A = this chain, B = another copy of it.
């Protein structure tokens, strides 16, 4: 399969975050609230829709809030 472009990677990871969030019955506001420290709900929406290129630390904080490891959050081998 071809190289994953930046925007495609963002979309895949964003869709994965959304799927994991919905599986837990969280709204975007819920998720932002569970994330350690400051995290704007606007950012949840942007990340889930793949509009931005998230940082390591934010991915880590999202994984924490979803109670999953960073490695599992970024396991996109099924995509």
The interface of chain A, by Cβ under 8 A from chain B, is: 3-4, 6, 9-10, 13, 36, 53-57, 59-60, 64, 69-72, 74-77
* Cross-chain contact A36 with B3 (CB below 8 angstroms): yes
Chain copies in the assembly? 2
* Cross-chain contact B56 with A13 (CB below 8 angstroms): yes
B-side contacts of A74, CB under 8 Å: 56, 70-71, 74
Kindly state the separation between the CA atoms of A6 and B70 in the bound complex, as whole angstroms: 13
* Cross-chain contact A4 with B60 (CB below 8 angstroms): yes
* Cross-chain contact B55 with A55 (CB below 8 angstroms): yes
Which of B9, B70, B75 makes the CB contact (< 8 A) with A60?
B9
B-side contacts of A3, CB under 8 Å: 36, 64
